[in-house]
Structure 1
């Protein structure tokens, strides 16, 4: 019974941490949902959501949900997301059917907040779960993640290399694992598996977002229908782009701390590695 209660406590702790990581994304999605049921206003709904997203970002920064460096990562992901949206909407992959003042080439500016929310989740999880990696090949993973991002554009004109890139991502992360803390215990799981799990929950979130009217796929214009299951795989690949950006910034932060505290660096690093090596190997 003690083991059962211990497992339940760990599950509750894990759920609470995940909820804290998702706070911005849930608040953003909730605001979009509320905007759909508001009475008619002189301000377009997409414009209203943009203002809400900006205010939500300021609140999150004020509450200390993210550091200044995290905000930089989130802002970069916002811009990358808008570029992604401009191409995809132009190609008819999905659309924003409502009118708005803050709309460029069919894309409302709030669209970038979807990607910013994903980046915010990764940054929060990095700190709250105390993520540490072993066997991670930074350069190779960055190259493949860049190719993944570009393929989402080029597959409209060139052969889709999605499956080849998925195989390449599995190859470069084959020996990589992520260690994370829940309560007083450390766990470990393959990095590729974490991409798949995050991709699945992003697909679930995408279903909720399209139901709330955040955007619409062609098959949803006549009424809401579930998002195609294939988008799950797309998210599992695309999350690697956010991960690579975040890893670069977090690694730079660690180097800066090491340079400021050279006397303690070796001991701290050795303790962290030893802790990871001694932690139980589990997947979630």
Structure 2
């Protein structure tokens, strides 16, 4: 249930890859389905107003990154669409938003509780540095490995408690970051196979996404989690 929005996107990618959609370009059709699914999730109570706001923020963050990366030639969206801006279809932001949707849904459904969460003055600048590195590494030294070492040090004591039915479990937070990043990498392979976007080495024929991309998703998941966690903490303090 926590993955319902990502699954909806995968299903749309798969169907639109094998069936011609009348009157719509494929990317426009995917955007339309994303909007409909979000509306249905909200109207049926599966998604709260606060969760919808978080997803909106992630759509903007993801779309900004997409615009920059496509401009730099990191990947491309080769198909035509009416809803493309500077070569980037607007549905692409929803792929980032789907990760936020999963986090929000899992947080509520699994009753997540963070223990030993670092202070605001550490997590927020760290998240900002990670996000900025996705932009600056095209011009200066890529510090992702330095950031990963810092992350391990900062979150080494942090763990997350969660509940499945009546069973209470816990997991080191760094491990959960890696696991989410790994499964997002698998999702990325499925997405590129269905033609959601295209890396330079996939122009003539599909190839598996380089395993090094796991590190990118690991870091991006942390940025996502920090934003969600801080918003949750702010809301709890208000309550």
Query: What's the TM-score once normalised by structure 2's chain length?
Result: 0.97
- 2:69 and 2:229 map into 1 onto residues whose CA distance is 27
Q: CA deviation digits over 1:114-170, x for unaligned, max 9?
A: 001000000001011111111111421222111111001000011000100001111
Alignment partner, residue 99 of structure 2: 118
Whole-angstrom distance in 2 between the partners of 1:190 and 1:196 = 10
Taking the TM superposition and a 5 Å limit, the aligned residue runs for 1:37-76 are 37-39=18-20, 41-76=22-57
Matches within 5 A, 1:256-271: 256-257=238-239
Partner of 1:87: 68
User: 1:147 and 2:129 equivalent?
Assistant: yes
Structure 2 counterpart of 1:26 = 7
Instruction: Name the CA distance, whole Å, in 2 between partners of 1:44 and 1:206.
Output: 22
CA distance in 1, matches of 2:203, 2:37: 29
CA shift, 1:251, in A, is: 1.3
Contact 1:69 1:249 survives alignment (8 Å): no
Q: Distance in 1 between matches of 2:21 and 2:220?
A: 36
SS of equivalent to 2:163: strand
Aligned residues: 238
Q: CA deviation at 1:40?
A: 5.7
Name the structure 2 match of 1:234.
216
Partner of residue 166, structure 2: 184
Q: Secondary structure at the match of 1:186?
A: strand
Contact 1:35–1:45 under 8 Å retained in 2: yes
1:4 maps to what in 2? none
Gaps of 5+ in 2: none
- SS of structure 2 residue aligned to 1:21: coil
- The 3 A distance-change label for structure 1 pair 91 and 77 is same
* Counterpart in the other structure of 1:160: 142
CA distance in 2, matches of 1:208, 1:36: 12
Instruction: Select which of 78, 86, 99 maps to 2:80.
Output: 99
Structure of higher CA gyration radius: 1
Contact 1:195/1:240 (8 A) holds in 2: yes
Give the number of the structure whose residues are more often helix, by fraction: 1
How far, CA to CA, are the matches of 1:32 and 1:75 in structure 2?
A: 21
